[in-house]
Structure 1
């Protein structure tokens, strides 16, 4: 397999680890400030400032005209991300990190099957197959097992 495949696999794996670490940190932030929405706002604010600094330092900030040309639905990603951060920081103390992430991954895979099958948002179409459904079902089984 190509080196870019392995690089992407490693980056996403490390990103998954970062999400698992972020979840209890954000939950603790929510307890500390007394409100999950405020904690999510702080988390996103810090992330925004970090990314703004990185983009600016690379000279990668787009001109306003380019931003005006972006399709409307491209602006909704941040709202989905904000919901995710709040939902996870609220759920981790109630479910634990493993169960929270098991149900999170199951939800992601169910949506991913539909997005792939429809070629949503310009993605290449990838049909729903028995092995892919089986992989999702195994995650569902892992979710059930995580509760024991």
Structure 2
């Protein structure tokens, strides 16, 4: 893979992360309008399907093999449930924690889980063993999470009165 392709992939990954706060903030307002976070979660997922279907049709993707789909292990069908968890929890927690606080904590959970998945090569991922530099990087991210979530209150408590 060439350098430009690699940079393009990196930018797409940054974009994927950048859309999450928008999705969460919009869904909070949707939840207020619809009266409950789960209705906002449902609506968000229905809109996802409605956006995705024309793309699938435009790309003329063939239908998946029903015979193959029926043979898949149950765990392969759980990805959507994790998506529901994230969207629903974002709608509930983002107003209480703030966008940066919620996403910093979500990133901490993602990083911790990703390190375990990579280390053991779970779910068919390439094994990337936990090394000192990777551990240090994860700890730096966790330190950032703590500063983002608790830095203001700690700074206020350390500031002189008056």
Q: What TM-score do you get using the length of structure 1 for normalisation?
A: 0.93
Match of 2:117 among 101, 115, 118: 115
Q: State the structure with bigger RCO (CA 8 A, min sep 6), 1 or 2.
A: 1
* Alignment: residue pair count: 148
Structure 1 Cα separation of the partners of residues 113 and 67 of structure 2: 32
Structure 2 Cα separation of the partners of residues 44 and 113 of structure 1: 28
User: Which runs of no fewer than 5 residues in structure 2 stay unpaired?
Assistant: 153-162
**Which of these two proteins has the greater Rg computed from alpha carbons?**
2
Structure 1 Cα separation of the partners of residues 77 and 8 of structure 2: 28
Structure 2 Cα separation of the partners of residues 74 and 6 of structure 1: 30
The match for 1:76 is 78
Q: Are 2:33 and 1:32 equivalent residues in the alignment?
A: yes
Q: Runs in 1 of length 4+ with deviation above 6 angstroms?
A: none
The CA RMSD over aligned residues, in Å, is 1.4
Q: What TM-score do you get using the length of structure 2 for normalisation?
A: 0.85
Structure 2 Cα separation of the partners of residues 23 and 135 of structure 1: 26
Structure 1 residues 65 and 57: alpha-carbon distance in aligned structure 2, compared to 1, 3 A threshold? farther
Structure 1 residues 117 and 135: alpha-carbon distance in aligned structure 2, compared to 1, 3 A threshold? same
